[in-house]
Amino acid sequence: MELLVVIGVIAILIAILLPALRRARESANKTACLSNLRQISVYLQQYQNQNRGQIPVFTMGGTAYVNYFIYLNSSGSVTVNDYTGLGLLVPANIAPSRRGSKEGAVFYCPTTATRYTNNDFNYWDPARPDISNPWVGVPGSGTRMTYSVRPEYWCSDPPVIQYPWSRWDMIKTTGSTNVFILPKDPNRPCFPRASAFTNKNASAILMDLNNFEDNRLGVHRGGMNVLYANWAAKYVSQEYIEKHLKTIRALEATAPTGRPARRAHFDMWLELDRL
């Protein structure tokens, strides 16, 4: 009887303590994620100091999905095997370049659940390089981060996909498959400056919510961490962008490619700008 009482007391204590432990762990993960974003902001500031104020914040392809590629093995039928997006911080000798380096985990939110194995940090399957996610720069295998970048600037010129000479003007983009692209101009910087985004330094440029529905349910218990072009990082409740996520879900349900949803994607980022 005494043993049963002791076991019962222990079970009650565990039931009381587990929620507190989960909250403490989540709080630690949220803090670690904010630290990641601040470190990435340091990398971006170093990059802009080396490149006339430009930062590699843009998306690829014909959709407006929030983008997370660091190293691309191919684009359609074109073999690329090159760094892209924030991955360009690696060949610039700013972000960690050594393959398998644990420092590369700064590009991965400790809380974000991944939908596929190949989203995991430094995952490698010798038999399936196509689904691997090694850190970083392994030909034949792409690398994804769990953070996503603002989809205001766009490029699709494989195999040199890291140079977006064309700008995707979201203000003139409709909710259909139409897209307004400015013509190539070698006199225009190939990367945007922080002040060139729609809301300039108040623009959100990076967040830990990516395009998979599984990850839209709330990264940090109903919210996400966001990095802004003024290099401030903060936590934002998902309730502020939920209406945009609902629109995106509805549009993507009728168009798997996501093209009709690109305006809704951009509206979501504009909402983050106002918070």
What are the E-state strand segments in 90-216? 143-149, 154-155, 204-207
Give the amino acid at 100: G
Copy the structure tokens of residue 266: 């951009």
Full residue range of the structural domain in which residue 157 is found: 2-273
- Residues 75-119: tens digit of each pLDDT: 767 788 888 889 999 999 999 999 889 999 999 988 875 556 556
66: cis peptide before it, omega within 30°?
A: no
Kindly report the length of the chain: 275
- At 252 the pLDDT is 73
- Residues 152-182: tens digit of each pLDDT: 877 665 555 554 444 555 554 444 455 555 5
Q: Which residues contact 254 (CB under 8 A, 6 or more apart)?
A: 260
> Is 0.95 topped by the overall pTM?
no
159: cis peptide before it, omega within 30°?
A: yes
Per residue of the chain (275 residues), give pLDDT as tens.
Answer: 767 766 766 767 666 666 655 666 777 888 999 999 999 999 999 999 998 888 988 877 655 565 788 888 877 677 888 888 899 999 999 999 998 899 999 999 888 755 565 567 898 888 887 778 899 999 888 898 989 898 887 766 555 555 444 455 555 444 445 555 555 555 555 678 888 888 899 999 999 887 655 555 557 777 889 999 999 999 999 888 888 888 888 877 776 555 667 777 888 889 999 98
- At 33 the pLDDT is 93
Structural domain count of the chain: 1
Cα(118)–Cα(133) distance, integer angstroms: 5
Give the amino acid at 45: Q
Cα(259)–Cα(147) distance, integer angstroms: 21
Helices (H), strands (E): how many in the chain?
3, 8
Q: Which residues pair with 60 in a beta bridge?
A: 155
